[in-house]
Structure 1
């Protein structure tokens, strides 16, 4: 299959974003574990695995269509955070960045009439709707339940229950 250099670059750039997201979530999980937020740690370990799986989907797709995936070095993620809420906000910001990048690749595929890449990306478009909604919903918990120690404990338990659903 013939893939344009523009599409190949965009897909390889997405591999970088997914790898960085996986490492960011891994750092968040580690921070949560050290802070005693076991539920949140499990949730973010699952998120890290999920982002690595997304990265692999892009790698396999590029290789399958003859585009040759490039495995990137990753940037060092933040390792210290102010609070559990700040981590959720950072995660939402990350998902919004990924969504924007996915939409950009969709636009490239549409412009180039690259139907296979466009179809491949459909799953990611839907996934990003779910990901953003997930983090927005978690942030709502801070407004609904509160930010005192008992509320944070409850949010940690909620996150733990979400870990197995990722």
Structure 2
């Protein structure tokens, strides 16, 4: 099967987006760890691994078709945040950007009648629903529990319970 140049470029653009997301989550994890949010640090280290796994899925897909996967250089992510809540808001915005990019790829696959790529992308569509929901739910916790030190401690503990490495996630 041959990918169109447009689909090839779009998939490679997604490799960059997933690599950037992985790096961003790694920087968030590091900030959390240094700031004393160990639960959040564990959560975002796992998120970083998950995004790298997503990137590799696309690289392997491109390679399986004999297309050229471009391994991108990525710019340094933001590495300092004012609050845990602000960090989670940034993570949600990042996921929303990824969702938009995946939906764009799906539209191209549909327009080009590229059924194989469309089927491949369905997993990512479903994954993004879960990703956005995780961060939206976590942001709701600030409204439910508050923003004082005890509430933030509880949110940090909740993040720790949600930290799942990609190796432990059969869907990843």
Report the counterpart of residue 170 of structure 2 in structure 1: none
Contact 1:22 1:50 in 2 (8 A): yes
Tell me how large the CA RMSD over aligned residues is.
Answer: 0.8
Report the counterpart of residue 105 of structure 1 in structure 2: 105
- Is residue 2:133 matched to residue 1:149? no
Contact 1:42 1:160 in 2 (8 A): yes
Displacement of 1:76 in angstroms is: 0.7
Contact 1:3 1:66 in 2 (8 A): no
Report the counterpart of residue 133 of structure 1 in structure 2: 133
SS in 2 for 1:163: coil
Report the counterpart of residue 123 of structure 1 in structure 2: 123
TM-score (norm 2): 0.95
Contact 2:22 2:48 in 1 (8 A): yes
Cα shift readout 1:23-81 (whole Å, capped 9, x = no counterpart) = 00000000000000000000000000000000000000001011110000011100100
SS in 2 for 1:147: coil
Q: Distance in 1 between matches of 2:148 and 2:109?
A: 47
SS in 1 for 2:97: helix
SS in 1 for 2:68: coil
Contact 1:28 1:87 in 2 (8 A): yes
Contact 1:8 1:67 in 2 (8 A): yes
Displacement of 1:164 in angstroms is: 2.8
Q: Distance in 2 between matches of 1:67 and 1:88?
A: 35
Contact 1:32 1:40 in 2 (8 A): yes
Unaligned runs of 5+ in 2: 167-172
How many positions carry a matched residue from both structures? 166
- 5 Å-filtered alignment, 1:22-33, equals 22-33=22-33
Report the counterpart of residue 92 of structure 1 in structure 2: 92
Report the counterpart of residue 21 of structure 1 in structure 2: 21
SS in 2 for 1:3: coil
Unaligned runs of 5+ in 1: none
SS in 2 for 1:79: coil
Displacement of 1:138 in angstroms is: 0.1
Q: Distance in 2 between matches of 1:90 and 1:4?
A: 33
Q: Distance in 2 between matches of 1:57 and 1:105?
A: 15
